[in-house]
Structure 1
Amino acid sequence: MTATPPVHPVPARPILIRSLGDALAAARAAEPAGTGLTLMAPPAGGALWLLGVLERVRRSHPGLASTGLLDCGDRAGEAQGALAAGVPALLFTGHPQAADRLAAIAAAHGATLLTRCPPLLDLAAESRGSDRAERLEALCRDWLARAEG
């Protein structure tokens, strides 16, 4: 019988980012709202990239509670490396037995392991343009103000 991974709180209203600009726009939207911010990196982002973005966001917005969520897909090795690097939350959609092992490792690191993607805001749909930053901030403000996904 496969053990069920421990239940950890789902990171609040994640925003899928693909650049530092996306992350900073999300932070500018979250700070005046007084909400926490969960920045989610796509599978290609990587643990060190996400941690670097979080560091920049925290320096730019020191009063904002921010955390990171890394999408590792079905790559258990990447998930284990991300936990070792200090990523606070992971999404792993691979084999349940691997998820069980990763859940134990995550618990030992004080991290969160998700096996299903929570509702999120994906900023990729926003095209380039001179007012892109303002549009991203508005999208993030609306997303963070919602009661549900």
Structure 2
Amino acid sequence: MGLLQPHGRRRGRDGQARLKTVIVANLPQARAALDAARAAGGTAGETIGLAAPPDAAIQYGVLFYVKLSEQLAAEYPELQPVIAVDCGDRADLAHDAMRFGLKSIVFRGDPRTAEKLADIAGTLGVKFRSHPA
């Protein structure tokens, strides 16, 4: 089975394949996932979701994902790739990620802080997911 080939567990009741999320920690991994999405003939948002590993912004820094996103957008413009960047429990990194233009953020910190970040994300058009620690 290929990277993006759907299987029974990934299909809804209507028989349609569902979005597959791939964890990418570097450029070669992201390229492999996007090459597979391109080969499947879909857009990244329809065929595949890209997500950073847990606490990725803490480990690699927000600017790493900004540059990675810019590189992927240049190489795969037709796929319009977006990486969900995991900022762990660091509100400052989640805020920086939004400020630097990243379009999908995962925050796993205080729920009250998450509400405030979600408000900011909403005004910026950023997809924001919160998972309490």
- TM-score between both structures, scaled by the size of structure 2: 0.71
Specify every segment of 5 or more residues in structure 1 that has no aligned partner in the other structure, as ranges.
1-11, 118-149
Specify every segment of 5 or more residues in structure 2 that has no aligned partner in the other structure, as ranges.
1-18
Contact residue 89 and residue 111 of structure 1 kept, 8 A:
yes
Q: 1:23 aligns with which of 26, 30, 37?
A: 30
Query: Partners of 1:79 and 1:26 in 2: how far apart?
Result: 24
TM-superposition CA deviations, 1:64-105 (whole Å, max 9, x none): 131121101111111111111111011111111000100011
CA-based RMSD of the aligned residues comes to: 1.8
Q: 2:80 aligns with which of 50, 56, 65?
A: 65
Matches within 5 A, 1:1-149: 12-33=19-40, 34-36=42-44, 37-42=48-53, 43=56, 44-116=59-131
TM-superposition CA deviations, 1:4-38 (whole Å, max 9, x none): xxxxxxxx533211111111111111112114243
Equivalence for 1:147: none
Counterpart of 2:83 in 1: which secondary structure? strand
- TM-score between both structures, scaled by the size of structure 1: 0.64
Query: Partners of 2:121 and 2:61 in 1: how far apart?
Result: 17
Taking only the aligned residue pairs, the percentage that are identical comes to 33
Contact residue 109 and residue 131 of structure 2 kept, 8 A:
no
Aligned length: 106
Counterpart of 2:27, as a letter, is L
Contact residue 46 and residue 70 of structure 1 kept, 8 A:
no
Counterpart of 2:67, as a letter, is G
- Which shifted more, 35-44 or 18-27? 35-44
Distance 1:15 1:45, change over 3 A: farther
Between 1 and 2, higher relative CO (CA 8 Å, sep ≥ 6) is seen in 1
